[in-house]
Homo-oligomer: A and B are copies of this chain.
Amino acid sequence: MTSLTSPDPLTTTPSAAGRKPVISRDDVIAAAIKLLGPHRSVSSLSLREVAREAGIAPNSFYRQFRDMDELAVALIEMAGSSLRQIIGEARQRARTNRSVVRGSVEAFMAQLRSDDRLLHILLREGTVGSDAFKQAVDRQLNFFEEELQRDLIRLAAANRTGLYEPALTAKAITRLVFAMGATAMDLPADKLPELSEQLVVMVRMILTGTRALAANPRELQADLP
């Protein structure tokens, strides 16, 4: 998990002279995350609400962010890098074990249920809110796709199998996992294992398909299961 308290030298003002800040950007971010839930998206939060939760005056918010959009983008980026780290670790672990797919899917689902709401942000804010919002989410999804693609290529080489359009394969898997994750967000916890299992099979359908197509691209023409 990305720490909420480590200062970011790029965003924290140097304050060469004058008083040291007692409120940090991260305090405000933490307050916003606390307010998120199954029925609250970032775009539905008000500035005053976040300020209230952070224990500061509404106008003090402006010392940290230009507006709510800037806060939202910060949240999205934090969520993306956190998720990539977690899935990356899951892949490392799985590589020495057995199933990369199952390991990654389960790490994803576990993260969905974790206390910090970061993944929820990525899943939800992609379709609503300002352009800045959507672009930020899309950027994170692209990072994710790139890492997945690299992994797919490496593993395909190791197993001496082919990949029909690795980029497209990675994109399909990423989008499908996120779409299913968005559904899972609102499910009771006991339905999750079943959904995990479904998702594992779905991902393997894509993997089996891309491998079969690499072996025999003419199957692409046969327009039919």
On A, residues with C-beta under 8 Å from B are 39, 41, 43-44, 98-102, 123-124, 126-128, 130-131, 134, 138, 152, 155-156, 159, 161-165, 168-169, 171-172, 175-176, 178-180, 182-183, 186, 198, 201-202, 204-213, 219-220, 222-225
Contact = CB atoms under 8 A, between A and B. Distances in A.
A128 B205 contact: no
Contacts of A168: 198, 201-202, 205
Contacts of A138: 183
A99 B126 CA distance: 31
B176 A198 contact: no
Contacts of A222: 159
Contacts of A224: 100, 155-156, 159, 161, 207
A126 B169 CA distance: 25
A172 B41 contact: no
Contacts of A155: 224-225
10 contacts: A44-B128, A99-B223, A101-B223, A127-B128, A171-B202, A202-B206, A205-B206, A207-B209, A208-B219, A211-B225
A205 B169 CA distance: 8
A223 B175 contact: no
Contact of A180 (B175, B186, B210, B223): B175
Nearest to A206: B205
A172 B161 contact: no
Contact of A205 (B98, B99, B102, B172): B172
A3 to B, nearest CB: 28
Given A41-B128, A225-B169, A205 B213 contact: yes
A127 B134 contact: no
Nearest to A124: B127
